[in-house]
């Protein structure tokens, strides 16, 4: 008898959106980098609500990001926290 694989649970930890709507989003190359918990200029945090701080990222845990863009393909990947840095995980 084999055991069932553990279920993967997904939870949104932080979400941002362009202040003036989806089509007004800035180009990825103009943003350059995003710091977790700090919306870039022209964006606002929509989750967690009321500008609450997002949950702390825990060292060793695997996380996924998803960047949805208006005029380019989306970006999606996984990372883990090692030390104080996010390190890409290749599945």
At 10-29, the pLDDT tens digits run 789 999 999 999 888 888 78
Give residue-wise pLDDT tens across range 26-63.
Answer: 887 888 888 999 999 999 999 999 889 999 999 999 99
Residue 4 counted as domain residue: no
62 part of a folded domain = yes
Mapped onto helix, strand or coil, the DSSP state of residue 63 is strand
Domain count of the fold of the chain? 1
CA–CA separation, 61 and 27 (whole Å): 29
Residue 27 lies inside a defined structural domain of this protein:
yes
Is the residue at 6 inside a domain? no
Could you tell me the residue range of the domain that residue 41 belongs to? 15-89
The CA dihedral of 22, 66, 49, 40, to the nearest 10 degrees, is -70
Is the pTM higher than 0.85? The answer reads no
Starting at the earlier edge strand, list the strands of the sheet with 62-67: 62-67, 75-82, 85-89
For residue 51, what is the DSSP state?
Answer: G
């Amino acid at each position: 008898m084999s055991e069932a694989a553990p279920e993967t649970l997904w939870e949104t930890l932080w979400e941002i959106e362009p202040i003036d709507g989806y089509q007004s989003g800035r180009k990825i190359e103009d943003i350059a980098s995003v710091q977790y918990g700090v919306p870039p200029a022209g964006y606002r945090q929509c989750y967690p609500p009321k500008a609450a701080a997002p949950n702390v990222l825990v060292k060793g845990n695997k996380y996924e990001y998803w960047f949805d863009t208006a005029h380019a393909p989306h970006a999606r990947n996984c990372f883990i926290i090692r030390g104080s840095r996010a390190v890409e995980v290749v599945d």
